[in-house]
Structure 1
């Protein structure tokens, strides 16, 4: 009798979704594949996160996300094998790429897994990518001069001054964008900021 469970199923889907999102842009290093994503996510203990009860309190989510990002980065292999030449090359995983893995994984498993209204899940970070950043930049321009968006606009400008390419984000740049997201969302779930993620 098979021991394949819904937890296994959810994990495999979340790994696939995160791995595909993480590999979307070439850039820094290489070896960006679902296989390597799975290795890093599982080594970082992500498979054990199945429901909101596996998360800390809402106040501890930011630190938890940072710990998971660093755990993913620590699990990266030293090298990867180039898919065409077979050559072993240095594997790099920036903070920006690791956040994409962690955040898409948690989005797939928890936000879209029916736990979206749990206060801990509401504080999970959205995956930061170029589509979201472009959408938020356009939104900021559209509300120019409106007082209720002044804090968000300032925080977004501060973040943009640090960098705009998510694949090379440092922790400092990433956290500056999360601050801007919180300024915009206020009491609304952070996942809902993806209404500005325009296909």
Structure 2
């Protein structure tokens, strides 16, 4: 079987997603296994036009599959597999495989949730205190808390949702 660009992109996106959630959580093999139980990879070959509502539904289903698979692998790991961690896996995968590939211009690139972490929330809170973004801990978010947070982030005016990452800094991530 030939090694295609999409295979290459998938492998890199898996690795990036695993690295983003690895600390005090799990390894790349478990994240790869969980991702491959979802339809994330099919997005590489898809031209599906998502609405915000249909993407949010896709996100819920995908996160549910990730969490269920991590629980299947190891119940203790499953207990640490919050919706926030699953969301970070999804966001980093999509950012790596779709948003960057499409120069942020495709339908999915414009509406997909950005990776949410402490750095983004702390920095965004400095300019948008009324949203109370500093009260969230991304590793502990339930599904309801996650979507409450996403709705707050959507109130920040951007053309594309990925632009909210202006509040994230690679220097602060060190």
Work out whether the TM-score is over 0.5: yes
For the residues of structure 1 that align with 2:108 and 2:14, how far apart are their CA atoms?
21
Is there any run of 5+ residues in structure 1 with no aligned partner, and where?
81-88, 142-152
- Quick check: which has more Rg, 1 or 2? 1
Is the 8 Å Cα contact of residues 51 and 110 (structure 1) preserved in structure 2? no
The residue number in structure 1 matching 2:111 is: 123
1:190 has 2:167 as partner: no
Is there any run of 5+ residues in structure 2 with no aligned partner, and where?
none
- SS for the counterpart of 1:44 is coil
The residue number in structure 2 matching 1:147 is: none
Is the 8 Å Cα contact of residues 18 and 101 (structure 1) preserved in structure 2? yes
TM-aligned CA deviation for residue 168 of structure 1: 0.8
Is the 8 Å Cα contact of residues 79 and 90 (structure 1) preserved in structure 2? no
Q: Deviations over 1:152-183 (max 9, x none)?
A: x3xx22x65xx521111001111111111110
The residue number in structure 1 matching 2:5 is: 6
The residue number in structure 2 matching 1:101 is: 89
The residue number in structure 2 matching 1:19 is: 18
Is the 8 Å Cα contact of residues 44 and 75 (structure 1) preserved in structure 2? no
TM-score (norm 2): 0.87
Give matches, 1:159-174, under 5 Å.
Answer: 163-174=135-146
For the residues of structure 2 that align with 1:126 and 1:5, how far apart are their CA atoms?
27
